[in-house]
Each structure stands twice: as structure tokens, then as C-alpha cells.
Amino acid sequence: MIYFTVGPTQTDPKLGKYLNDGYKKGIYSMSHRGKAFGEIFEATIASLKKLLNVPEDFHVFFIGSATEAMELVIENCVESKSFHFVNGAFSKRLFDTARDLRKQPLTYEVPAGEGFDFLRVSIPADAELVCFTQNETSTGVSIDMDDISALKKYHQDKIFAVDTVSSAPYARVDFKAVDCAFFSVQKGFGMPSGLGILIVNDKCIQKSEALQKKGMNIGSFHNFSSLLKYAGRHQTPETPNVMAIYLLGKICDSYIKYGIGKIRKETEAKARFLYKFLDTNPRYSAFVKKPGWRSNTVIVAETPEGSAGVIKKLSAKGLIVGAGYGEFKDKHIRIGNFPMHKISDIKRITVSLTNLFTEAICFSGSH
């Protein structure tokens, strides 16, 4: 089986070896307050920062999930108003999180499948936090990091937070423009779910401390102050997912050795192959019509005959793809394009989709 699902997805081919090595070393039984775990904690953060080109003065926190990160960012960076670019279910989830936490979120929303015209947007002066979902997993729309960087030049006073859940480590995050980024490990890092990564700078920390002094709720056990205090000791506030932290370090080391530049070029080449197929196929088509808005890591295809049959037939061939999300569940398939997916895998799925189309024609012709 090859999993092209968009999270969890196909696991890293070396995952079994890393798991066994950690088991043999007794890592999964060690104390999270001991020196040995502290060394793993420190090494994983160092590798992650090197891989993603995160500046030294940024802080990396290990949490439970990217959804938890959404909550933490709102609690710790917003007193009253946040501003959200919304074009799908996950960008809307961040907006809804702010609303659920009784903030006053504002939104610039466009239809699903579309990107944003940043020249037309006006971010209110009293918005404290600006939120981007760099890669909308539900619809396969991506935001160019250059657009975020350009916008930041006019809003230096605001905190910019970027969700890179389904684009890390492929996404080139400009940490001169981004104050906060977060993701989870079950997509581009080819790991089981259960670990979220939250990266913040001192501007975020200072905002959190200011809110706390005002008596505002910034979370309980997990808040920026608590996470920062324990990170300074190479620890987490609670017993963490030691196994996942260890595995993440190993996978980051592997990606560094292979070359993040090479990973990015291969990701783009695979995406071009898929989109060329969709743009020339008479049966299936890319949901995102404008090439400049298309994600390179989550490719969404429209299936006129419905997604269920396509998914079932591909599964019978050992190819597991995701259904559409939410309202598009029965209309789309979503194909993950992550480092563990090889070009031969991508070619195999396009051949299978072509054969399904051919079979459909032959079947209808027999009647």
C-alpha cells in the first residue's frame, strides 16, 4: 500500500529502523526530567532549526497538535482582535477558534479554491494578530511566502502567525516576516500523529506576558510562559511524547543529509507532473484553477463521477488517496505529495487514474 492521504500519510521509509533503535536504547522508558531526555530535546530542536532555517532567537515548543497551537496562539497573542485570511476549512478553524475564545476576529474570506489578492485587503489598525494558512489542506490552495513577507513590511507592529501544517518542511518560511509558525508531524515529516510544533519569537512572548499582567487568560498548564520556562531546561511542562520528539530529530537529520533544497525541487517536479496530468485529462481536473494558487504538497482533483468509486478502485490497486474535505467529500480526491512519495509513485497513480477513465469508457460503450 502507498498512502497518498494528506495526514496521516505514508510514513518515512526509515521509521521502523528509528523506532527500533530508540527501543533498544531504552529511550521510550526514560524520565522526561532526566539529562538523557534533555539531550534528545536539545538535539531535535537544533536539527529542526537547521532544517527550516529558524533563527537562533526563536523558541520551539513541543505540544500535542497543530489544533492546540491554534488555541495557544490566540490565547497568548490576542487581547481583542485578530485578522484571518480564510479560504477553506482549516483557515476557518483558526478564525472559529478565536471566536470560541471570545475574541473579536475579523476575516477576509474568498471562495474555496481561490487565493487572495493582497493588494485589495485592508488590515484594520487595531488587529493585533494576522493569521495565514499557508497551505489550505482542505482545498489545495497555497499562499506564496513572498506575499506574506511583502505584507509584513506595512504591518511591522502586528504579529504574523502562519499555519504550515501541510507544507512543512517544503515551505520556505521567512522568519524575518513571520513571528509564529506551527505544524504537526504526520504529513511532511512522515510520522504518526501526536506531536505539534509551535515556533515563536520574543515578540509573541512579550505579548503573552503583557496579557498575563492584565489578568487575561493565556491558558493554564500550556501557555507561552510555562512552555518557555521548561524549554529553557530542555523539557516540557508535562510528560511529552518522547518517542515522537526522538523520531522527529532523526527524520530532520535525514532530511538535512539528503538536502532540503533537493526535497523542494523533487516536490515541485512531482507536483508539476500531477497538475499536467489533471490539466490534460478529459475526466479529472484540478480544483484550483489558477496555477499561482496551487499547492505543491496537497493536490486536489475534481471527480465528476464522485470520489467514492475512484477511491475504492485506487485502493484495490494499493493506492490510498484522501476524499474531499467537508462539503467536497464526495466531489474531490486529495493527493498528498510529501518527501516520502517518489516520482515513480506519482506516475503510478496517474496511470491508474487513466486506466479507471478508460475502463469507464469501455463499460459505457458496452451498453
Look at residue 356 in the predicted model and tell me its pLDDT: 82
CB atoms within 10 A of CB 17: 11
Distance, CA of 337 to CA of 91 (rounded, Å): 20
Look at residue 220 in the predicted model and tell me its pLDDT: 86
Residues in the chain, pLDDT under 70: 357-367
Contact indicator for 123, 105 with CB cutoff of 8 Å: no
Distance, CA of 155 to CA of 188 (rounded, Å): 30
Residues in the chain: 367
For strands 298-302 and 59-63, give the pairing. Answer: unpaired
Q: pLDDT, tens digit, for every residue of 168-181?
A: 999 999 999 999 99
CA distances from 241 to 42, 195, 235 (A): 15, 7, 11
The CA-based angle 230-236-237, given to 5 degrees, is 80
Taking only Cα atoms into account, the Rg of the chain, rounded to an integer number of angstroms, comes to 21
Distance, CA of 40 to CA of 249 (rounded, Å): 8
Look at residue 363 in the predicted model and tell me its pLDDT: 44
Distance, CA of 293 to CA of 344 (rounded, Å): 25
String of b and e for 42-76 (b: at least 16 CB within 10 Å)?
ebbbebbbebbebeeebbbbbbbbbbbbbbbbbbb
Look at residue 357 in the predicted model and tell me its pLDDT: 60
Q: Which three cell numbers stand for residue 111?
A: 471562495
Look at residue 358 in the predicted model and tell me its pLDDT: 60
pTM for this predicted structure? 0.95
Residue in the block written with cell 531546561: 233
Distance, CA of 134 to CA of 297 (rounded, Å): 11
Distance, CA of 258 to CA of 260 (rounded, Å): 7
Domains within the chain, CATH numbers bracketed? 2-7+259-365 (3.90.1150.10), 15-257 (3.40.640.10)
Q: pLDDT, tens digit, for every residue of 196-230?
A: 999 999 999 999 999 999 999 999 889 999 999 99
Contact indicator for 161, 133 with CB cutoff of 8 Å: no
Q: Which three cell numbers stand for residue 222?
A: 500550556
Query: Residue 366 phi/psi, 5° resolution?
Result: -75, -10
